[in-house]
Structure 1
């Protein structure tokens, strides 16, 4: 394998599953495999324990907005973990891609989970707000205008905390993902798009330079970075 240069973000690389004309069967298989990939590398159980569970209310259901929810596996896991810990969540999961929502809605329904075709700006315009705002593997998809717009929307939508989780661009992470996924995930976009995602993703210094001072960047293993915002309590 020829290792591409990871010195700079590859803003021009495009993932196969973002192509409106990509093979639908392969795309649906990719959505079904996100559950496995996210469980192995996305670190959401640790993120839930360290950054979400400590701010959950016990006297009422917490409202959560999942932006760019894809197949909805992160939202389903959060509901399950919270329920096990004695909390209740009401999650609104949004995605502008009807293909993702169609796949997610074919899975067994969860009463606490609602899917909706929308962008974060639409919810801001509606005057909506949520206790928590999250996203998974969304930041690296955004261009130079969309990235700050997402942060601004998150600040308006989140009453308690916003947490955006994404890949951290690193050489060893690229090599491990390439080697670890090669024997698996055939007939899906997981491996090819995952490597493209790493090339498009940020390093920790790049994120710190790109976000307003009210956001903090928290490195997370393996090869992850979190953007966290806590609204001013005043």
Structure 2
């Protein structure tokens, strides 16, 4: 494995027509991984930095929302800190949307849209903050630049990205953990590959530069993540 460059090997999760039960097992395990390794907390940290000292209701749009686990974690946090949030998840896979809706039945503040994010009329949704958690590593370079530009143009307050740092320790650690504990062939294959498709700090800086974004705050977070927070339009 050459960690100096991103892998573009396709993840199994990106294939079409994955059996629903297999996909559901994958999504449940990803939720566990994100909770135990602090992935959800990283996204919440970014949202908290953008909403500090703000008490009005806020709409958050999650691109590539998968099984909705990130939004449920945000909803739990918001309830604890008495923030009023309208949470909207967007995902291309109808199976992910079906799963997410079932798992989010106790969260009336969460809704889901089955769509490519580029087909959404953001002016109708009026998102204050747009988030992307573990979505960017599924994309090609130019697709990421376009995503960054879309988030920057449509997030009234800003946007937050949480994605993987490509590093050999992260790769081998998640490979070992999933081989020992995972029951999902999707997780066993894709967890380490997701790291190989992740990013180095210099790559994020270059992608943001290509997108014309100069005010991003990038921090390294535990469990080998980068948190990117951008405050837009004067907020």
> When the two structures are superposed, what TM-score results if normalisation uses the length of structure 1?
0.90
| Equivalent residue for 1:176, pick from 165, 168, 173 | 173
Choose between structure 1 and 2: higher helix proportion. Answer: 2
Moved more, 165-174 or 30-39: 30-39
Q: CA deviation at 1:44?
A: 2.4
1:53 aligns with 2:48: yes
Alpha-carbon distance in structure 1 between the residues aligned to 2:50 and 2:13? 34
Matched residue, 2:233: 232
1:21 aligns with 2:22: no
Matched residue, 1:111: 108
Matched residue, 2:132: 135
Matched residue, 1:93: 89
Contact 1:68 1:136 in 2 (8 A): yes
Change (3 A) 1:160 1:100: same
Secondary structure, aligned partner of 2:112: strand
Alpha-carbon distance in structure 2 between the residues aligned to 1:54 and 1:126? 24
Q: CA deviation at 1:42?
A: 4.8
Secondary structure, aligned partner of 1:87: coil
Alpha-carbon distance in structure 2 between the residues aligned to 1:117 and 1:209? 31
> When the two structures are superposed, what TM-score results if normalisation uses the length of structure 2?
0.90
Unmatched tracts of structure 2, length 5 or more: none
**Count, aligned residues:** 229
Unmatched tracts of structure 1, length 5 or more: none
Alpha-carbon distance in structure 2 between the residues aligned to 1:144 and 1:198? 16
Matched residue, 2:73: 77
1:209 aligns with 2:206: yes
CA deviation vs aligned residue, 1:108-165 (integer Å, no higher than 9, x gap): 4111001011233233464543111101111111113311111111012211120011
Contact 2:141 2:207 in 1 (8 A): no
The two structures, once aligned, show a CA RMSD in angstroms of: 1.9
